Structure 1
């Protein structure tokens, strides 16, 4: 039961993936909780219970999404607290944090956005969601010009995963902001190499950033000795 999302999908597309995943796996998630406390119900009973819980989690997430779309971010935060308290194993929690963080970013409340993203990095059960949150948190810190913090979030090494190109691209932006041009160039090159089919990054844009850094002349310099003066 792996929950997979793509950082480049819109929030609504990611939410639909979460809904589909939970419809298919929600009974196992909540069922595992029930079995852990002693199997108080028979299979049919707890499966029915799990379906109801999944539907309630979905409905609460939809309330959060509606509150965000309506500009009621404070209400969305309150509903998120309820979602986290009642359905701690739900992937909707991470998705709700992402859309709330995006709303805060649109209001230039970068610290509030960072708080939501950091919570995903620290507590999400899903690797993909942690990667997405790290990438977005690094960009928040970059926007704040907290460059050392941005680099710390993203890490010095590119993870060997489907997110490798995104990590390299963001790292290139951070290095460029730090005026570490050679490292920025290397990072952009790695981003292009990691995604030859342009499936997760905009290769044209990344190539443009790379081109703007100029080409390094790797030809070794050779000292030219002056010609000897002719003998008289």
Structure 2
């Protein structure tokens, strides 16, 4: 079937447009495909990196090495994986072992580093709560109060107020301690409520 002059004109215009723009279109398609491939590659790389980090973390924490060797391994691990949850967890483990050995100075140093390494407020707040506990053991209640100000995640609010109340009670300010304990009761777990009630009864 013969084409009309109008159809022939349309075809010629399409051919002309394609001739002028096909390089750009192909380039855009290549970039789109490359971008999609790059995104999937990056995601796969991140997953592989997280898996490798998890494995290395487990190998260090579950090893039978001496405390000194394990602490050295943790220090290297933290340096290589800075600002990650695993780095923070490794430092929390280091602090836990130090606390159990009553090496509160080492525990405090590890926990201060854990706060700096934490990638989010949840882990940073947990590290701050533990650091405040250690500082209380070191009889440095002013430092403990300053540390508790770094607890930002609401998950730890009751524990934060409980510790503040403990410090206030130690300083002899029973009225302030009672207020802190009562505020803590509002969002505390059943176990925390038991601790708080005992403290209130002992004021």
Asked if Structure 1 and Structure 2 have the same fold, meaning a TM-score greater than 0.5 normalized by the shorter chain, the answer is yes
Structure 1 runs of 4+ aligned residues shifted over 4 Å read: 157-160
Change (3 A) 1:159 1:82: closer
How many angstroms does 1:124 deviate by?
Answer: 1.6
Cross-structure match for 1:191: 184
Deviation track 1:121-149 (CA, whole Å, cap 9, x = no partner) reads: 23322100111011111110111111111
Q: How does 1:211-226 map to 2 (within 5 A)?
A: 211-213=201-203
Task: Report the aligned-residue RMSD.
Answer: 2.3
Change (3 A) 1:65 1:160: closer
Cross-structure match for 1:169: 162
Cross-structure match for 1:154: 148
* TM-score under structure 1 length normalisation: 0.65
Distance 1:158 1:88 in 2: 21
Cross-structure match for 2:31: none
Distance 2:133 2:193 in 1: 18
1:99 matches 2:57: no
Change (3 A) 1:185 1:158: farther
Change (3 A) 1:77 1:149: same
Number of matched pairs: 168
Q: How does 1:111-150 map to 2 (within 5 A)?
A: 111-150=105-144
Distance 1:173 1:163 in 2: 15
Contact 2:169/2:177 (CA < 8 Å) preserved in 1?
Answer: yes
* Structure 2 SS opposite 1:162: helix
Q: Which has the higher contact order (CA 8 A, sep 6+)?
A: 1
How many angstroms does 1:176 deviate by?
Answer: 1.4
Cross-structure match for 1:66: 62
Match of 1:178 among 171, 174, 183: 171
Change (3 A) 1:121 1:210: same
Of Structure 1 and Structure 2, the greater helix share is in 2
**Structure with the greater alpha carbon radius of gyration:** 2
How many angstroms does 1:107 deviate by?
Answer: 0.4
How many angstroms does 1:71 deviate by?
Answer: 6.4
**Unaligned 5+ residue runs, structure 2?**
1-34
Distance 1:146 1:71 in 2: 32
